[in-house]
A and B are shown apart, each in its own frame.
Chain A
């Protein structure tokens, strides 16, 4: 089973600042099947990035994903007020097929 570790646990930033979130896998993620989601309180997760670096439909270009193998990064170039949320990475592998990281909370400094 591939275990995902996200860091930091909490990121305190101000609007307009750059956010860099890390997701590390215990084994190489096949074919870059790594996705990122945003979740706000009381809402379902929303897909931001799939295939490690492709933005999902309707996602602003301030969100970008990068990385390969075991190290992946989600970058928010300039934080907007609506970006303060919890972010999860997720991978697709052989078993149990899908696992999620524990999340990084981006809150207002």
Chain B
């Protein structure tokens, strides 16, 4: 069974770039018709899709974040990553990496809290 694990700094200063990595284990990131996604959740609030990438490099982003988001896949490391630039306090959230298949997200990481504060 595939497992996903987020990693990265838990504290980012305003205006800087948030960088997270998701490591996939128990399966190859290159196999199957999967997209690799990031979803976030501010404390006590609902879920917001951030974006996704396929192994080919094809990406889709939430229009509300598109100008600041980059998602990429590294097949050699079985990882994918998220970069979110020019962060503000509104970007403080738990960030989840997830695997997308056929309209839904069937595997999720445990989530990592990122706080934007000086």
Q: Using CB atoms and an 8 Å cutoff, list the residues of chain A in contact with chain B.
A: 31, 33-35, 37, 43-47, 50-51, 56-57, 88, 90, 92, 95-103
Contacts and interface: CB of A to CB of B under 8 A. Distances in A.
Nearest to B106: A47
Contacts of B111: 44
B108 A50 contact: no
B74 interface: no
Contacts of B105: 35, 37, 45, 47, 90
Contacts of B46: 88, 100-103
Sort A-B residue pairs by CB-CB distance and give the 10 closest, nearest first.
A33-B103, A35-B104, A98-B49, A44-B108, A50-B104, A100-B47, A92-B103, A96-B62, A47-B106, A102-B46
7 contacts: A34-B103, A47-B105, A92-B104, A95-B63, A97-B49, A100-B49, A102-B46
Contact of B109 (A44, A46, A56, A88): A44
B47 A35 contact: no
A92 B64 CA distance: 16
Contacts of B109: 44
Contacts of A90: 47, 104-105
A79 to B, nearest CB: 22
Interface residues of B, number: 20
Nearest to A49: B104
B63 A51 contact: no
A107 B105 CA distance: 25
Nearest to A31: B103
A99 B106 contact: no
Nearest to A91: B103
Contacts of A100: 46-49
B19 interface: no
Contacts of A43: 110
Interface in B63-118: 63-64, 96, 102-106, 108-111
A102 B79 CA distance: 30
B7 interface: no
B23 interface: no
